[in-house]
């Protein structure tokens, strides 16, 4: 028999300069207020001397997210924290962007529909019509945009407005093959995830499987990362890989890579949706 769901279930994440007493302050504050800590992970970076923590806590009473935020603010203030508080039970609302290749999009749609991903895909945007029927079969709105050098900023503003109007908290680039402008990267900093079809930092940019084939690689892979203005240089969230050999053409490498791309992106989106990813400069801390 399933245990009863708590009335209030929150996830606190933060990063701050490391010092003695951080965990004790969090734990004692929660204990004094009658909260049960159900998950807790922390990491002290020896290089940056920064401390990272994810703590999930619950109680059988109804507490509004904003009320909980206001309660925690004075406790966290002395530690100079970059912190956030999330409702652990709320699925992450996302907008997905795709171009012509739909294997990663399809995998996202399937996992979300099956309830295997704590995500609600509220809209799909594409610069091609190919995946409209599939997306609309899932009952999800599909918007086609026309991206040219002249229209790129307007199309990006359309996406930002769409995210705002649908309450989307993240943007997922599922093999969307257009480079986002610096302004768009600023607008979605820390909440746009791209799947690149190579093991970054190798083979950035366009056509990475052709680059890999020319180099005679013995493994291929995929990298899910946050999007930044520096193309395919954003903080890495997840990678997946497999062995290959001299017999495969670039096209065969690309075909073998599709599953890796789909798996890596789902894993990264799940980690982001469960608030397990914290930015650590140009890197990430990803809690289990």
Ligand X SMILES: Nc1nc2c(c(=O)[nH]1)N[C@@H](CN(C=O)c1ccc(C(=O)N[C@@H](CCC(=O)O)C(=O)O)cc1)CN2
Give the interface with ligand X as residue ranges (CB under 6 A): 173, 176-180, 185, 194, 196, 205-206, 227-229, 231-232, 234
**Rounded Cα–Cα distance for residues 161 and 22 (Å):** 39
Output the smallest distance, CB 153 to ligand X, in A. Answer: 12
User: Is 232 an annotated catalytic residue?
Assistant: yes
C-alpha 240: how far from chain center: 15
Considering the complex, state which of residue 80 and residue 230 has its C-beta at the smaller distance from ligand X: 230
Considering the complex, state which of residue 114 and residue 148 has its C-beta at the smaller distance from ligand X: 148
Considering the complex, state which of residue 232 and residue 240 has its C-beta at the smaller distance from ligand X: 232
And the tokens for 69? 């935020």
Output the smallest distance, CB 213 to ligand X, in A. Answer: 17
**Rounded Cα–Cα distance for residues 256 and 170 (Å):** 28
Output the smallest distance, CB 89 to ligand X, in A. Answer: 31
**Rounded Cα–Cα distance for residues 39 and 275 (Å):** 12
> Which of 62, 161, 182, 232 is the catalytic position?
232
**Rounded Cα–Cα distance for residues 98 and 178 (Å):** 9
Q: Is there a contact between 15 and 48 (Cβ–Cβ < 8 Å)?
A: no
Which residue's entry shows tokens 């010092």? 19
Output the smallest distance, CB 223 to ligand X, in A. Answer: 8
Considering the complex, state which of residue 6 and residue 234 has its C-beta at the smaller distance from ligand X: 234
Residues known to be catalytic: 232
């Amino acid at each position: 028999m399933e245990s009863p769901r708590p009335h209030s279930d929150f996830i606190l994440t933060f990063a701050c300069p490391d010092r003695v007493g951080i965990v004790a302050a969090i734990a004692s504050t929660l204990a004094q207020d009658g909260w049960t800590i159900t998950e807790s992970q922390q990491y002290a970076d020896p290089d940056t001397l920064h401390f990272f923590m994810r703590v999930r806590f619950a109680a059988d009473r109804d507490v509004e997210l904003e009320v909980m935020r206001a309660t925690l603010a004075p406790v966290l203030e002395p530690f100079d924290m970059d912190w956030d508080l999330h409702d652990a039970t709320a699925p992450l609302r996302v907008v997905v962007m795709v171009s012509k290749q739909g294997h990663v999009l399809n995998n996202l749609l399937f996992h979300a529909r099956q309830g295997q991903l704590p995500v609600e895909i509220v809209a799909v945007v594409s610069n091609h019509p190919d995946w409209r029927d599939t997306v609309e079969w899932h009952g999800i709105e599909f918007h086609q945009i026309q991206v040219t050098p002249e229209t790129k900023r307007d199309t990006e503003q359309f996406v930002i407005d769409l995210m705002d109007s649908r309450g989307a908290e993240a943007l997922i680039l599922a093999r969307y093959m257009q480079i986002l402008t610096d302004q768009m990267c600023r607008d979605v900093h820390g909440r746009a995830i791209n799947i690149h079809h190579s093991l970054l930092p190798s083979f950035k940019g366009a056509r990475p499987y052709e680059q890999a084939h020319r180099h005679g690689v013995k493994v291929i892979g995929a990298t899910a990362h946050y999007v930044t203005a520096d193309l395919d240089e954003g903080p890495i969230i997840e990678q997946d890989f497999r062995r290959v050999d001299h017999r495969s053409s670039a096209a065969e490498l690309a075909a073998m890579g599709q599953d890796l791309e789909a798996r890596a992106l789902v894993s990264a989106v799940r980690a982001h949706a469960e608030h397990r990813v914290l930015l650590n400069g140009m890197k990430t801390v990803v809690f289990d």
